[in-house]
Structure 1
Amino acid sequence: MTQSRSLSAVEAAANVLVGWCTAFVTQLLVFPAVGLQAGLGQHVTLSLVFTALSFVRSYVLRRAFARLG
């Protein structure tokens, strides 16, 4: 049984959402600890850019492995 493209997208989105929450909180805690200052809007923008890249990466890898299997 193979996974459909839409289910691959849903799985990737769920994975990225959990990753985004983790990364966002980590960013809020780590930036000040290493001397980086960013406003809330900057944190959101930066995390959304990385989230979009992570989603694309997850989806492409999932489809590549689905094709191999």
Structure 2
Amino acid sequence: MKQTRLMSLVESVANVIVGYGVAVVTQILIFPIFGLHTTLAQNLKMGAIFTILCRARHNTVYAERRIMRSRPGVGVASI
């Protein structure tokens, strides 16, 4: 079954929200182990930065994949 554009958007937004939450919770749990003490506001800001960087990386990989697939015979295994 093919996913609709709307559901693809919903999935993407949910993925970003979950990733942001995981980043913030991870920071809150891990930073003190390394002696880093941050406020909730600082964790939220760092989580936002990490999320933006992650999305930028994802978009770069997606663009590279599209470029490679648009070139005949490049990046595709021949059978």
Q: Would the TM-score normalized by the shorter structure come out above 0.5?
A: yes
* Structure 2 segments unaligned to the other structure (5+ residues): 1-8, 70-79
Bigger-Rg structure (1/2): 2
Quote how far apart the aligned CAs of 1:66 are. 1.7
> Which residue of the partner structure matches residue 60 of structure 1?
60
**Contact 1:23/1:47 (<8 A) preserved:** yes
- Are 2:51 and 1:32 aligned? no
Equivalent residue pairs, number:
62
2:23–2:50: 8 Å Cα contact kept in structure 1? no
Q: CA RMSD in A?
A: 2.4
In 1: Cα distance, 2:65 partner to 2:24 partner: 28
Deviation at 1:63, TM superposition (A): 1.3
Displacement after TM superposition at 1:15 (Å): 4.2
Higher RCO (CA-CA < 8 Å; seq separation 6+): 1
Gaps of 5+ in 1: 1-9
